[in-house]
Chains A and B, each alone.
Chain A
Amino acid sequence: MKTSPFAILKGTAAALTLWALTATAPAARAETVRITAAYYSAATGPYFEKMASEFHKANPGIDVKVEVVNWDNLLQKLQTDISGGTNADISIIGTRWLLDFVKDGQAEPLDGYMSPAFTDRFIGAFLKPGEIGGKTYGLPIAASARAMYYNKDLLAKAGVASAPATWDEVVADAEKLKSQGIAGFGIQGKEIETDVYWYYALWTHGGDVVGSNGKAAFASPAGVKALTLYRSLIDKGLTQDGVTSYSRENLQDLFKQGRVAMMITAPFLINQIAKEAPNLNYGIAPVPKATQNATYAVTDSVVLFKNSKVKQAAWKFLDFLFTKDPRVEFTKGEGFLPTTKAEAADPYFTGNERLQTFVSLLPNAHFAPTVTGWEDTAKAVSDAVQSVYVGKAQPEPALKAAADQADQALGK
């Protein structure tokens, strides 16, 4: 077939007219909202892509672009993006970083967008950590608490009938496990949350990380007791070998493989075990207590950046993310705790005994305080407990030195 030059001309003319028409049509331009999401699991990326396309179907005028970033690099990436002015419109962040964002004026206060009905969707306690100076800057997209996982088969093998409820029982049970050649109580000694793993013992001994005066409070008698406890577990061989070479993930792997009988971590391990070690016979119990019950509760926040040019559209997407179905799908897929009332009422959560153990611990939960210098404190404490774990330092002087170091950054 031969196309005549005339036909081509005609076609071009038609195309030009069409282009001219669309170009002069009143701005039906699609808005693009960019979101930076943290990588929680392999399900995170697909979840947000799905939400983006569902949202786009309901709001054809708004495109949502998703970018998923590893936790380890997230803060660095945001830091680089913000310095260069190329950050997304909304991002998931660790709530403990929020203060830095607010102080630099990067995060948009959300109170103006939040209707009373919207606020009422949330479980109140989870909104608190996202508030600074009476204003809400972050919405709790993910929440978790910590509890002790125990391997029922290993405990039974050592003749232990039920999960230990106190640290003394942990020691006694770990002794029995040791005689069977099993590592009793796993301790994390490396990378992110090394400090938190020790706070479990600190809090249950009645101590606290930062006092009401805003100064480091962990070098207290309770702190010394807690650290001495961990050190003695290591010295007596009641933990896994080489504590300081185990990150949180390494320790979780050890538990999945049935190589450690007890360890403390977040609810998302349930999903991992279901997938990777479905035959593991385990239970979940509260963090062992010394003088009181305690756990660590963490929220991750989603923030809206002040420099966003599409705040209304971005808010619309956030509003959508915090409706029931998207919430249930997210929380279920990642193995977190519900942050809104509607999802908490979903049969998946009300009928889930394991998750309910975590939920029941929330009244005694400690959140990371929103104070400047929290990261420095975490680092100072991690260094101190590591130096004790490897036998380089004694608990009391190590904690005292760490407290001095933390005080230089706290509240500054």
Chain B
Amino acid sequence: MPWLLVLPSLVLAFAVIGYPLYEIMRLSVADVSRFGQVRGFVGWGNFSRMLADPVFVAALVRTLEWTVAVVGGTVLISMPVALVLQQDFWGRGLARTIVMLPWSVSLSMAAIVWLWSFDGNHGMVNTTLQSLGLLSGPVQWMALPQTAFPVEIAVGILVSIPFTVTIFLGGLSSIPGDIYEAAAIDGATRTQSFRLLTLPLMRGFLNIAIVLNVIYVFNSFPIIWVMTQGGPDNSTHILVTYLYELSFRLGRPGMAAAVSLAMLVIVFAFTMVYVRMQSREAA
């Protein structure tokens, strides 16, 4: 009976997930023209070309850096922000709204605004840093990968914070207040109660925040595409921008399908390993 009840949604899920997956698999082993015409079967050809492309390998490594840096940064910043916003203080509603606001802006728009802010000539960032005396002259942030990529990571962190803080606030509100009182009576310091009470009780929420953020950030296209299009000289490509360029600039949907399958496998493997690891620790 329960199976019967979930059947319709299962069928729907299989259709919605299964059909594109089937298409991608079909394209990934085919020689596909720019306009989607399948010209022939190439077996592993697309995959071997992908692995032989130094840009792919570099983008793969950079995707991992990007994901770790953005998700790590987001979680590290969101936790204290959530703890502060959990406190009862005057103007908390306003502060919460301000933290949530970036969420309501689409990623592409946010990226465009930050691109302007980091403009070398008129950008708000250069102007501010110069008037504070931190910079002697304007910096062309987007010209070199060693500045452009960290800026993109920072923007990535910034736009991921609202979502993560929301999860954490939900978690914090589920922790009863009296255990902290009890701990305080027993002489626990604030750091101790954070480490020994808050963190363990937040574990589930922390995990969800990490897994979801990894999936989002790993696949996040707009920030990098809007700010540098993966350049200069491919030095800020992550897999998803590389994939887009392959498919729509260079007209190789087959190879792009192979890259997207590789991405799927990576995200899937990460999620499996992470969930397995966490449930084992919890047991």
A interface, CB within 8 angstroms of B:
75-76, 78-79, 82-83, 100-101, 103-104, 106, 189-191, 241-245, 254, 259, 375-376, 379, 382-384, 386-387, 389-390, 392, 409
Q: If the complex has contacts A79-B248, A190-B231, A386-B231, are A100 and B142 also in contact, measured as CB distance less than 8 A?
A: no
A392: chain B residues within 8 A (beta carbon) = 233, 235
The reply to whether B232 and A244 form a contact with Cβ atoms under 8 Å apart is yes
The reply to whether B143 and A100 form a contact with Cβ atoms under 8 Å apart is no
The reply to whether B251 and A390 form a contact with Cβ atoms under 8 Å apart is no
- Beyond known contacts A75-B249, A387-B232: 14 more, CB 8 A cutoff: A83-B35, A83-B36, A100-B35, A106-B35, A189-B143, A241-B140, A242-B144, A244-B142, A245-B142, A379-B245, A382-B231, A383-B233, A386-B231, A390-B232
B73: chain A residues within 8 A (beta carbon) = none
List B residues 37-73 near A (Cβ within 8 Å).
37
B142: chain A residues within 8 A (beta carbon) = 190, 242, 244-245
B interface, CB within 8 angstroms of A:
33-37, 120-121, 138, 140-145, 228-229, 231-235, 245, 248-251
B120: chain A residues within 8 A (beta carbon) = 241-242, 245
When the two chains form the complex, which single residue of B37, B231, B234, B248 contacts A76, counting CB atoms closer than 8 Å? B248
Q: Nearest-CB distance from B228 to chain A (Å)?
A: 8
A243: chain B residues within 8 A (beta carbon) = 143
Q: Nearest-CB distance from A167 to chain B (Å)?
A: 23
Q: Nearest-CB distance from B241 to chain A (Å)?
A: 13
Q: Nearest-CB distance from B56 to chain A (Å)?
A: 13
Taken together as a complex, chains A and B put the C-alpha atoms of A409 and B33 apart, in Å, by 13
Q: Nearest-CB distance from A272 to chain B (Å)?
A: 18
B141: chain A residues within 8 A (beta carbon) = 245
When the two chains form the complex, which single residue of A79, A103, A245, A254 contacts B143, counting CB atoms closer than 8 Å? A245
Q: Nearest-CB distance from A412 to chain B (Å)?
A: 11
Taken together as a complex, chains A and B put the C-alpha atoms of A106 and B33 apart, in Å, by 11
A101: chain B residues within 8 A (beta carbon) = 35
Taken together as a complex, chains A and B put the C-alpha atoms of A409 and B53 apart, in Å, by 13
The reply to whether A242 and B33 form a contact with Cβ atoms under 8 Å apart is no
Q: If the complex has contacts A75-B248, A242-B120, A243-B143, are A100 and B233 also in contact, measured as CB distance less than 8 A?
A: no
Taken together as a complex, chains A and B put the C-alpha atoms of A155 and B49 apart, in Å, by 51
13 contacts between A and B (CB under 8 A): A76-B248, A79-B251, A241-B120, A241-B143, A244-B142, A244-B143, A245-B120, A245-B142, A254-B121, A375-B249, A383-B233, A387-B232, A387-B233
A191: chain B residues within 8 A (beta carbon) = 229, 231
Taken together as a complex, chains A and B put the C-alpha atoms of A384 and B55 apart, in Å, by 13
Q: Nearest-CB distance from B15 to chain A (Å)?
A: 18
Q: If the complex has contacts A83-B35, A103-B33, A245-B140, are A389 and B232 also in contact, measured as CB distance less than 8 A?
A: yes
B33: chain A residues within 8 A (beta carbon) = 100, 103-104
Q: Nearest-CB distance from A233 to chain B (Å)?
A: 15
Q: Chain B binding site: helix, strand, loop or mixed by DSSP?
A: loop
The reply to whether B143 and A82 form a contact with Cβ atoms under 8 Å apart is no
The reply to whether A79 and B36 form a contact with Cβ atoms under 8 Å apart is yes
Q: Nearest-CB distance from A253 to chain B (Å)?
A: 9
A76: chain B residues within 8 A (beta carbon) = 248
B138: chain A residues within 8 A (beta carbon) = 241
A384: chain B residues within 8 A (beta carbon) = 233
Q: If the complex has contacts A104-B34, A375-B249, are A244 and B144 also in contact, measured as CB distance less than 8 A?
A: yes
- Which residue from chain B places its CB closest to the CB of A81 in the assembled complex? B35
Q: If the complex has contacts A100-B33, A242-B120, A245-B141, are A189 and B232 also in contact, measured as CB distance less than 8 A?
A: yes
Which residue of B37, B143, B232, B248 has the most chain A CB atoms within 10 A of its CB atom?
B232
Q: Nearest-CB distance from A390 to chain B (Å)?
A: 6
B248: chain A residues within 8 A (beta carbon) = 75-76, 79
The reply to whether A79 and B34 form a contact with Cβ atoms under 8 Å apart is yes
The reply to whether B35 and A82 form a contact with Cβ atoms under 8 Å apart is yes
Taken together as a complex, chains A and B put the C-alpha atoms of A26 and B229 apart, in Å, by 55
Taken together as a complex, chains A and B put the C-alpha atoms of A100 and B34 apart, in Å, by 7
A189: chain B residues within 8 A (beta carbon) = 143, 232
- Which residue from chain A places its CB closest to the CB of B122 in the assembled complex? A257
- Which residue from chain B places its CB closest to the CB of A392 in the assembled complex? B233
The reply to whether B140 and A100 form a contact with Cβ atoms under 8 Å apart is no
The reply to whether A190 and B232 form a contact with Cβ atoms under 8 Å apart is yes
A104: chain B residues within 8 A (beta carbon) = 33-35, 37
- Which residue from chain A places its CB closest to the CB of B36 in the assembled complex? A83
Q: Nearest-CB distance from A196 to chain B (Å)?
A: 15
The reply to whether A376 and B250 form a contact with Cβ atoms under 8 Å apart is yes
The reply to whether A379 and B143 form a contact with Cβ atoms under 8 Å apart is no
Taken together as a complex, chains A and B put the C-alpha atoms of A254 and B140 apart, in Å, by 14
B234: chain A residues within 8 A (beta carbon) = 383
- Which residue from chain B places its CB closest to the CB of A106 in the assembled complex? B35
- Which residue from chain B places its CB closest to the CB of A84 in the assembled complex? B36
B245: chain A residues within 8 A (beta carbon) = 379
The reply to whether B121 and A259 form a contact with Cβ atoms under 8 Å apart is yes
- Which residue from chain B places its CB closest to the CB of A372 in the assembled complex? B251
The reply to whether A379 and B34 form a contact with Cβ atoms under 8 Å apart is no
